[in-house]
């Protein structure tokens, strides 16, 4: 399942991203800047438009992105936002409960607050990358992670919600390679987590058209989840387009078996995340 050629990138739960925490920061900076520019240009009609999140319109999604940014700033050492992740967190119910605190808020105030949080987030991420490259923490899916991998969850959440807003409007996003790579590798790592809770680890290779590296190996070493960006060697088990695959893993669009060609137990394993978040 592996190639003799060395992997171009590695995302490991404990040792982090092979590009280092500053590579995670770079992906944050470009995604946040693009999203802020986009939402700042929305008119009143667009703020009330439907999104891929069935119960949320555009303003709801942006308020959620703001809430998660506030939580991320808190996790990086900033002020308490009034809520936190707990064992009782329900990915379907809890984020909507968080939105109750900003009910009636104007879109302009939401953008203003998100802009402030993004500046603080970048400052804290940069300081953390310089001071604590190896620190670990408990991740959103209950697994111990390098702190920068835990932060990559916030990046992935924001990246996915950007698609929730933009794609229903018939628009496309041109992602830089560093964003596509991190979103792909973390998306795969995240999707492998639910299966790992019962020590049923995913081992597969995916050929993903449109991805930054072409092919990825998803595996576990001594119980630690790992994704490797690796050149294809003719042994790919699963193949599909990167966007629809990442969307499906996160509960958007068709089921995973509909967007990936090939047969592998990994399809069932990777589909567990979708069931948890929808």
| Among 173, 197, 219, residue at a domain's last position | 173
Tokens 């990777």, located at residue: 270
- Is the pLDDT confidence value at 241 over 50? yes
31-40, 128-137, 199-208, range with the lowest pLDDT: 128-137
Domain boundary among 173, 190, 224: 173
Residues 6+ apart with CB under 8 A from 68: 154, 157, 158
Q: How many CA atoms lie within 13 Å of 141's alpha carbon, on the beta-carbon side?
A: 26
Tell me if residue 253 falls in helix, strand or coil.
Answer: coil
Helix 147-166 and helix 177-196, axial crossing angle in degrees, nearest 10: 110
* 116 found inside a domain: yes
Least confident stretch, 5-19, 91-105, 252-266: 5-19
What pLDDT digit, counting tens, does each position of 13-22 carry? 999 999 899 9
The parent domain of residue 45 ranges over 20-173
Q: What is the pLDDT of residues 123-137, one digit of tens each?
A: 999 999 999 778 999
Our count of domains for the chain comes to 2
Are residues 27 and 145 located together in one domain of the fold? yes
Final residue belonging to a domain, choices 141, 173, 205 = 173
């Amino acid at each position: 399942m592996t190639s003799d050629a060395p992997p171009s990138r590695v995302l490991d739960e404990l040792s982090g991203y092979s590009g280092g925490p500053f590579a995670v920061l770079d992906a944050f900076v470009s995604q946040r800047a693009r999203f802020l520019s986009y939402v700042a240009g929305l008119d009143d009609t667009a703020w009330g438009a439907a999104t891929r999140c069935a119960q949320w319109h555009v303003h709801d999604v942006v308020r959620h992105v703001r809430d998660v940014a506030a939580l991320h700033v808190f996790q990086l050492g900033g002020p308490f936002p009034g809520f936190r992740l707990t064992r009782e967190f329900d990915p379907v119910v809890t984020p909507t409960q968080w939105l109750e605190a900003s009910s009636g808020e104007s879109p302009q105030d939401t953008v203003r607050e998100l802009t402030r949080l993004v500046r603080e987030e970048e400052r804290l991420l940069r300081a953390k990358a310089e001071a604590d490259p190896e620190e670990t923490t408990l991740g959103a899916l209950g697994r111990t992670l390098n702190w920068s991998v835990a932060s990559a969850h916030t990046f992935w959440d924001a990246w996915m919600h950007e698609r929730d807003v933009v794609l229903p409007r018939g628009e496309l996003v041109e992602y830089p390679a560093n964003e596509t790579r991190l979103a792909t590798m973390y998306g795969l790592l995240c999707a492998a987590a639910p299966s790992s809770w019962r020590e049923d680890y995913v081992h597969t290779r995916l050929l993903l058209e449109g991805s930054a590296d072409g092919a990825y190996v998803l595996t576990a070493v001594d119980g630690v989840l790992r994704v490797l960006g690796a050149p294809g060697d003719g042994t790919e088990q699963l193949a599909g387009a990167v966007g629809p695959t990442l969307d499906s893993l996160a509960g958007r669009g068709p089921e995973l078996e509909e967007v990936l060609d090939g047969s592998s137990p990994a399809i069932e394993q990777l589909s567990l995340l979708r069931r948890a978040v929808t």
